[in-house]
């Protein structure tokens, strides 16, 4: 058989309030500890995000620099190809002029031979 302690209402209420306060303090201490850890984790996460952003910016800058170098190299190659093509065109024009001059000389020599043959007849 269970024996009850004869306590009046005020004693029971005081005991309940004390138990609630103790539980509340325990939860607050636990929450403060959790919040403290959460703040540290948040700061660490923010530092990681900042470092990630810095690395991304560095990668973007390196990519842009590489693209700029590639564009410069392509422009230089195109300029070299244009200069080479211009040189080939100039050589071809000179060769065409020489060929025309040689053809004119051959024709003049042939006409002279024909005229000499006609003069002999």
End-to-end CA distance of the chain: 165
Which residue reads 């995000």 in tokens?
49
Max Cα separation, the chain? Answer: 166
The yes-or-no verdict on residue 63 having pLDDT over 50 is: yes
CA distances from 89 to 16, 38, 92, 93 (A): 105, 75, 5, 6
pTM for the full predicted model: 0.47
Cα angle vertex 17, ends 13, 20, to 5°? Answer: 140
What confidence score (pLDDT) does residue 5 get?
63
pLDDT digits (tens, 9 = 90+) for 100-111: 999 999 999 999
Mean pLDDT across 72-80: 96
């Amino acid at each position: 058989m269970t024996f009850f302690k004869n306590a009046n209402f005020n004693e029971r209420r005081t005991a309940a309030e004390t138990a609630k306060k103790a539980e509340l303090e325990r939860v607050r201490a636990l929450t403060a500890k959790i919040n403290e850890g959460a703040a540290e984790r948040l700061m660490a996460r923010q530092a990681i995000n900042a470092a990630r952003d810095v690395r991304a910016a560095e990668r973007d800058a390196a990519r842009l620099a590489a693209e700029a170098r590639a564009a410069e190299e392509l422009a230089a190659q195109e300029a070299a190809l244009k200069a080479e093509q211009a040189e080939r065109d100039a050589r071809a024009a000179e060769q065409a002029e020489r060929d025309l001059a040689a053809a004119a000389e051959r024709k003049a020599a042939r006409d002279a031979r024909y005229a000499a043959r006609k003069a002999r007849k």
